[in-house]
Chains A and B, each alone.
With several copies, the nearest count.
Chain A
Amino acid sequence: EEALIAVAANFTAAARDIGAAFEAEGGHSVTFSFGSTGKLYAQIAHGAPFHAFLAADVARPEKAEAEGLAVSGSRFTYALGRLALYSPDPDRIGTDGAVALAADDVDRLAIANPVTAPYGAAALEVLAALDLTDALRARLVQGDTIMQTHQFVVTGNVPLGFVALAQIVGHTDGSRWLVPQDLYTPLRQDAVLLRAGADSVAARAFLDFLRGPVARDIITGYGYGLDDDGRG
Chain B
Amino acid sequence: MATVVWLTLQLAAVVTVVLLVVSTPIAWWLARSKAPWKEVVGALVTLPLVLPPTVLGFYLLVAFSPSSPLGQAIEGVFGQGLPFTFEGLVVASVLHSLPFAVQPIRNAFEAIGDRPLEVAATLRASPWAAFWTVAVPLARPGFLAGAILGFAHTMGEFGVVLMIGGNIPGETKVLSIAIYDYVETLEWDKAHVLAAGMLGFSFTVLLAMRLVERRLGWGGQTR
Compute how far the CA of A63 lies from the CA of B186 in the bound complex, rounded to whole angstroms. Answer: 10
Given that A33-B166, A42-B58, A151-B58 are contacting pairs, would A157 and B186 also be in contact in the complex, using a CB cutoff of 8 Å? no
- Within 172-219 of B, Cβ neighbours of A (below 8 Å) are at 173, 177, 180-181, 183-186
Compute how far the CA of A31 lies from the CA of B183 in the bound complex, rounded to whole angstroms. Answer: 20
Contact of A43 with B166 in the complex, beta carbons under 8 Å = yes
Contact of B168 with A46 in the complex, beta carbons under 8 Å = no
Interface flags, A144-168, vs B, CB<8A=1, else 0: 1101101110111110000000010
Contact of B83 among A13, A48, A150 (CB under 8 A): A48
Compute how far the CA of A63 lies from the CA of B181 in the bound complex, rounded to whole angstroms. Answer: 18
Contact of A35 with B167 in the complex, beta carbons under 8 Å = yes
Compute how far the CA of A110 lies from the CA of B163 in the bound complex, rounded to whole angstroms. Answer: 12
Is B67's beta carbon under 8 Å from chain A? yes
Q: Which residues of A contact B (CB under 8 A)?
A: 4, 6, 9, 12-13, 31-39, 41-43, 46-50, 60, 63, 108, 110, 113, 115-116, 140-145, 147-148, 150-152, 154-158, 167
Given that A12-B184, A36-B184, A63-B186 are contacting pairs, would A157 and B163 also be in contact in the complex, using a CB cutoff of 8 Å? no
What's the nearest-Cβ distance from chain B to residue A143, in Å? 7
Q: Can you list 5 pairs linking A and B with CB atoms under 8 Å apart?
A: A32-B169, A48-B84, A108-B84, A151-B61, A155-B65
What chain B residues lie within 8 Å of A147 (beta carbons)? 183-186
Contact of B186 among A35, A38, A49 (CB under 8 A): A38
What's the nearest-Cβ distance from chain B to residue A23, in Å? 13
Tell me the count of chain B residues lying within 8 A, CB to CB, of chain A. 28
Closest to A7 in B: B167
What chain A residues lie within 8 Å of B166 (beta carbons)? 6, 33, 35, 43, 48-50, 110, 141-143, 152, 158
Contact of A157 with B84 in the complex, beta carbons under 8 Å = yes
Given that A4-B168, A113-B167, A157-B61 are contacting pairs, would A39 and B84 also be in contact in the complex, using a CB cutoff of 8 Å? no
